[in-house]
Structure 1
């Protein structure tokens, strides 16, 4: 298991100019985000115990919302079965989400090619949704993040990296149970396409069955009218009840949990710490509804469920964050990265952008020898010989995102 700071210690790098996320430069950019279009999907079985993944190019893991008959005065125990699984780190980030995205690209390369060998893919940036979420929420959220950029044949590939922080046992168990509870809640209120009723509490396992959508979109601004084309993958929770059309992203919902909100202070805390990320995650995939489970009793039990309108969240949070500036900052940041890398032609080079918790400064290091931080594996060079290699021949790509992100639902 690699740790980011250790990798940097063993790597030669060049410091590049910093960016202040609190600056005024981006606030009048007038960024516009194109409604995302779903162009593909795949299913993954993620074993949390071993952190191994099995990928299939199908909809076998597509789930459907299945709410209780009454969403008030319910009692869903989020700790059910936890003693059997508490040795598993439920808050660990997956190690190979970009691997799967690259394999999907290889399988669908013929429909993505544009006939230009200097830039075979007609996309400026390729990544996963979580990267864009982190960037666009940066002016308003005090989280730490580390994001690597590499360029190959005119397209920039983006991958998140995570530090392995020392956590005391009590704090680890609190975070671990919260992450487990998020998965457990999702299990309570969804059913697979093969089930007639929602899953009961006895069939929960440490293998998560994920369904991911592949989307394309575009973001532009007043200073960049042509904009940037984006291709990204997003794990999505489930289709709405009674929906069968998985081609339309508005038919999906996100599933979340949070503390029960009983006072203005609790409402302010929700918007200050959570709502921006919830809104951004949903808008990036054109989802307009969030199913929220409210937790009580030491945060171990969901006692009510509410359906939230995503656009309403932004309207209610105006005192804490500005949704227009989220888009402005995302476009501004991508412009900075693209300009820094305009003369870059070496796909082994990684430009590492970092923001520390409670800091507004974003640093950038050009890693001269990326080593285990390499983003683009050797077999992506199939775009050199487009008719030879199949995605199965790539196996497991060489790089791995580092460690660890808290993935609390």
Structure 2
């Protein structure tokens, strides 16, 4: 099926041009709500599914059970923003923070962008992305832009074997490096990127003994200069973006051998990572481009119609396209009163 013609195109500036821009500040992310997604699909506004981290067993086989692993049907191509919207209801915010023994912070007077962290990971990484296309949907309601994740798979829906093993090993590492109830815990964070007020939902791996959030990652053991280049150029950038966006201060990485045995664990401060990758990437390039994207969307997306944003790495450009059915992905009740009014239809 032929793809619709782009309505608007944003060409990605060179990294040197982005670096020449004024420094963009991301304010310290503040958690304003959260929720637990249970295995049976229940959503509760508490930290019931938040894991506690523990040392993983060195030598553990991260592919244990892979051959007999049953691949579940692919997830919905477009996860709903409803959990974030519901988490922002006053009663649900209060329930979450009471469970966490915290006082709910004041909400920003207005919110410009609502999204899952996944979309921001892609946007911030775009200036250094020459290989990986991506897509997300966007819809404006009032002053707020809502960004919705879109998952795209190969035509046959099958993941490459190496990717499948890597994904499985990552999940196994999370399982042996943490303990707690099954399910997912997501935090909802508010922060300012320049003058743009963001509201971001992010799945969190767990907390350490001090109660601080820590991300869990895996990577192959660094044995060659090529390994180190790949780690500093690509992985440190991805780790930094993901953690920095929601104020996670540390990343614990499980390094694995060629046959996916856990060799060692190493903890990195998120603030350290730009120094590791300084030869290859700069934080302000990422933040400056994100500011540019939000200004572009603010200018080009009219009220209450859903659009597709698609990145073509060969063209080094983002395109805004009309969706064939232009179907809204927001509840009709998300309006001027949100987030202080109801969000269910």
TM-score, normalised by the number of residues in structure 2: 0.85
User: Is 1:16–1:366's contact at 8 Å kept on the other side of the alignment?
Assistant: no
Q: How many residues align?
A: 333
Cα distance in 1, alignment partners of residues 255 and 226 from structure 2: 16
2:82 to 74, 77, 99: 99
Aligned CA RMSD, in angstroms, stands at 3.1
Alignment-derived partner of residue 18 in structure 1? 10
Cα distance in 2, alignment partners of residues 265 and 14 from structure 1: 38
User: Is 2:11–2:317's contact at 8 Å kept on the other side of the alignment?
Assistant: yes
User: Is 2:9–2:317's contact at 8 Å kept on the other side of the alignment?
Assistant: no
Q: What SS is found at the alignment partner of 2:33? A: strand
User: Is 1:86–1:176's contact at 8 Å kept on the other side of the alignment?
Assistant: no
Give the CA deviation at 1:25.
Answer: 5.0
Q: What SS is found at the alignment partner of 1:311? A: helix
Cα distance in 2, alignment partners of residues 316 and 23 from structure 1: 18
Matched, 1:86 2:67: no
User: Is 2:26–2:192's contact at 8 Å kept on the other side of the alignment?
Assistant: yes
Quickly say closer, same or farther: Cα 1:259–1:14, change in 2 above 3 A. Answer: closer
CA deviations over 1:203-242 (Å, ceiling 9, x no partner): xxxxx5111111000011xxxxxx11111111111111x2
Matched, 1:140 2:140: no
CA deviations over 1:32-76 (Å, ceiling 9, x no partner): 1101001111001357xxxxx3311111001111114xx7xx211
Alignment-derived partner of residue 248 in structure 1? none
Alignment-derived partner of residue 332 in structure 2? 378
Cα distance in 2, alignment partners of residues 303 and 277 from structure 1: 22
CA deviations over 1:279-329 (Å, ceiling 9, x no partner): 00000111121110011133x221111111222111111111111111111
Alignment-derived partner of residue 198 in structure 2? 230
User: Is 1:45–1:55's contact at 8 Å kept on the other side of the alignment?
Assistant: yes
Cα distance in 1, alignment partners of residues 249 and 290 from structure 2: 20
User: Is 1:121–1:155's contact at 8 Å kept on the other side of the alignment?
Assistant: no
Give the CA deviation at 1:100.
Answer: 1.4
Q: What SS is found at the alignment partner of 1:353? A: strand
Give the CA deviation at 1:24.
Answer: 5.5
Quickly say closer, same or farther: Cα 1:30–1:75, change in 2 above 3 A. Answer: same
1:123 to 111, 117, 136: 111
Unpaired stretches in structure 1, ≥5 consecutive residues: 1-5, 48-52, 195-207, 221-226, 245-250, 395-409
Cα distance in 2, alignment partners of residues 79 and 93 from structure 1: 26
Q: Mapping of 1:335-350 within 5 angstroms?
A: 335-341=295-301, 344-345=302-303, 347=304, 349-350=305-306
Matched, 1:290 2:251: yes
Matched, 1:239 2:207: yes
Give the CA deviation at 1:160.
Answer: 2.2
1:312 to 260, 263, 272: 272
Alignment-derived partner of residue 169 in structure 2? 181
Q: Mapping of 1:238-257 within 5 angstroms?
A: 238-240=206-208, 242-244=209-211, 251-257=212-218
Matched, 1:332 2:320: no
Cα distance in 1, alignment partners of residues 296 and 313 from structure 2: 21
Cα distance in 1, alignment partners of residues 146 and 138 from structure 2: 6
Alignment-derived partner of residue 216 in structure 1? 190
Cα distance in 1, alignment partners of residues 279 and 93 from structure 2: 47
Matched, 1:164 2:153: yes
Cα distance in 1, alignment partners of residues 152 and 49 from structure 2: 30
Cα distance in 1, alignment partners of residues 146 and 200 from structure 2: 10
Quickly say closer, same or farther: Cα 1:385–1:255, change in 2 above 3 A. Answer: closer
User: Is 2:117–2:202's contact at 8 Å kept on the other side of the alignment?
Assistant: yes
User: Is 1:21–1:138's contact at 8 Å kept on the other side of the alignment?
Assistant: no
Cα distance in 2, alignment partners of residues 185 and 110 from structure 1: 31
User: Is 1:13–1:367's contact at 8 Å kept on the other side of the alignment?
Assistant: no
1:351 to 307, 317, 322: 307
Quickly say closer, same or farther: Cα 1:76–1:154, change in 2 above 3 A. Answer: same
Q: What SS is found at the alignment partner of 2:169? A: helix
